[in-house]
Structure 1
Amino acid sequence: MLKKKAGLLTEIALMVFCAFAVRSTLAATFVVPSGSMEPSLMIGDRIVTMNFAYGLSSAQLPFATAPGEHDALSRRLFGRLPARGDVVVFRAPANHREHWVKRVIALPGDRIALEHGRVWLNGRELPWRDRGVGTEILGDGRRAEVERYDEILPNGVTHVLFKRLDDGPLDNLSSFTVPAGHVFVMGDNRDNSADSRVPVAQGGVGLLPVWNLEGHVMARLMGWHDGGPDFGRFGRP
């Protein structure tokens, strides 16, 4: 009897380990918690990530604890950097129990600055293309009209962003070089995103250690809006 119980417990433990291993190395789903990535991702959108896109790290385990920021990339098995424009899920630097989502704008060694809301990358202003007017869903459910633009990154990746304020509090940033082992991330909703423009001590991301990366967002599966499922949200962010 004891042998049977021990065998059953071993099988259960193995199943739990396999489930964690699959989640940690293959794919995972998350629900978008905020509007910081509008219009690409809306509150309630369910997204799926490819977790081995940037290699494997302990950040992908259920109970992750940061090892420290020094040479973060070396702590990833088969690690590689994301591409500019990748939408990524990561452990929030201030609270590793939280999963945040932003877009990678600059990589280690890139020189980045912001002037009047426009991103300058390695001495060149990222082009914008006017897309008219969009609708931002505010935190209390109200809707507001905002300007929409395509932003074009140096590698040709184009994404839509929202811009509501002229010379808002996050619109200017002195030029600096992104250090090794870190990336600079931003939300597509430029006036409503606590991202790399905001220090960790002030509730933002700051310069994101590569260790914190959990996965590359590959698709929106569906959304949950206005009290019901929205399957029309399926697609790439």
Structure 2
Amino acid sequence: MSKTKTDKLDDKADNKKGGAIRETVSTVLWAVGIALVLRTFLFQPFHIPSGSMQPGLIQGDYIITSKYSLGYGKYAATPLPFPVKSGRLFEREPKRGDVIVFKLDSGPNNIVKRLIGLPGDQIQMVRGVLYINGERVGIATEGEETRLDRYGNDDPVEVQIETLPGGDKNRIYDDLKNSPADNTSVFTVPAGHYFFLGDNRDHSGDSRLPAPAGVGYVAAGNLIGKAEFVLLSVQRDFSIKKPWTWYKINGKRFFKGID
């Protein structure tokens, strides 16, 4: 039985609809694939959940990291597995003073801190001042400013300028005088590992303490990426699903570089 003109028109419409669906699915799959490749090999965003890296990074910042700058370790494609058991593919050595995102084997969260100690370095804190390989780093008081504590309250804090070997200058917070974290034993960084500190020195669980209170020495293979810039920053009550909270985006921090 031959098809009528109406049947042929219906078939053409069905074919056109099916082609549109296939094209849409293909476009979505390509977009997902490209996003996955970018996220795995080039750039990845991370959220800053605490104030341990104040004043440079604050709670609510969304930062962009570059992965190619360090090479690709086992957490390069988190949460997907990456076929690296130790070390990093196309490994590039990080530089002292870099702000780096990494992940511990013992926890689910990504962590961001400043790289202070390279393999073989000896690190110590004495009366709140950092010593690297027995040498006191440069330290100067810049003044006082107000930071937000974990409860959102104002907290007056002393700002210091710390100069690392090589000349990198970083603004750090000295909030508590003679805190337990201000005086440590000497840490000798093992081969294939790094030593990290938070810039908010008295409120940071870092390499001065073992996990879970801190991070201990961090293996090279656990590094994810170097923090490059702040994409945007939001206050704690912000939600993309609640348009009435969109005014809580901090416009002063758009595309802010990370020193």
Deviation at 1:28, TM superposition (A): 1.1
The 1:67/1:163 distance shift into structure 2, 3 A limit, reads farther
Provide the aligned C-alpha RMSD in A.
Answer: 2.6
Q: What residue in structure 1 maps to residue 214 of structure 2?
A: 204
1:231 paired residue number: 251
Unmatched tracts of structure 2, length 5 or more: 1-18, 238-247
What count of residue pairs does the alignment treat as equivalent?
229
Q: Which structure features the higher share of helix residues? A: 2
Maintained 8 Å contact 1:161/1:189: yes
Could you give the per-residue CA deviations for residues 100-132 of structure 1, whole angstroms, max 9, x where no partner exists? Answer: 110001110111111111111011011111110
CA distance in 2, matches of 1:114, 1:174: 8
Shift of 1:212: 1.1
Residue 122 of structure 1: aligned partner:
133
Q: Do 1:58 and 1:64's aligned partners in 2 also have CA atoms closer than 8 Å?
A: no
Query: 2:50 maps to which residue?
Result: 34
Distance 1:141 1:7, change over 3 A: closer
| Equivalent position amino acid for 2:144 in 1 | V
Quickly say closer, same or farther: Cα 1:177–1:159, change in 2 above 3 A. same
Structure 1 runs not aligned, ≥5 long? none
Provide the identity percentage. Answer: 36
State the TM-score, normalizing by the size of structure 1: 0.87
Residue aligning to 2:13: none
Return the offset for 1:17: 4.3
For normalisation by structure 2, the TM-score amounts to 0.80
Tell me which residue corresponds to 1:164: 175
Give the structure 1 partner of residue 184 of structure 2: 173
**Per-residue CA shift, 1:183-230, capped at 9, x if unaligned?**
100100000000101111x42111011111111011112211375111
Change (3 A) 1:129 1:66: farther
Cα distance in 1 for residues equivalent to 2:177 and 2:101: 29
Larger CA deviation: 5-14 vs 21-30: 5-14
State the shift of 1:45 in Å: 1.0
Tell me: CA distance 1:206–1:226, structure 2 relative to 1, closer, same or farther (3 Å): closer
Q: Distance in 2 between matches of 1:19 and 1:38?
A: 30
Q: Distance in 1 between matches of 2:25 and 2:217?
A: 43
Cα distance in 2, alignment partners of residues 226 and 26 from structure 1? 28
Deviates more, 1:16-25 or 1:106-115: 16-25
2: CA distance, partners of 1:67 / 1:145: 47
Higher RCO, Cα 8 Å, sep 6+? 1
CA gap 1:173/1:65 in 2 versus in 1, 3 angstroms: farther
Contact 2:51 2:149 (8 Å CA) reproduced: yes
C-alpha change, 1:138 and 1:93, in structure 2 (3 Å) is: farther
Contact 1:94 1:203 in 2 (8 A): no
Distance in 2 of aligned mates of 1:173 and 1:65: 37
Amino acid corresponding to residue 222 of structure 2 in structure 1:
N
Of structures 1 and 2, the larger Rg is shown by: 2
* Structure 1: distance between partners of 2:215 and 2:236: 30
Map 1:46-85 → 2, pairs under 5 A: 46-63=62-79, 72=86, 75-85=87-97
Query: Larger strand proportion, structure 1 or 2?
Result: 1
Answering whether residue 39 of structure 2 is matched by residue 23 of structure 1, we say yes
Q: Distance in 2 between matches of 1:62 and 1:41?
A: 22
Alignment partner for residue 152 of structure 1, among 163, 179, 196?
Answer: 163
User: What residue number does 1:215 align with?
Assistant: 225
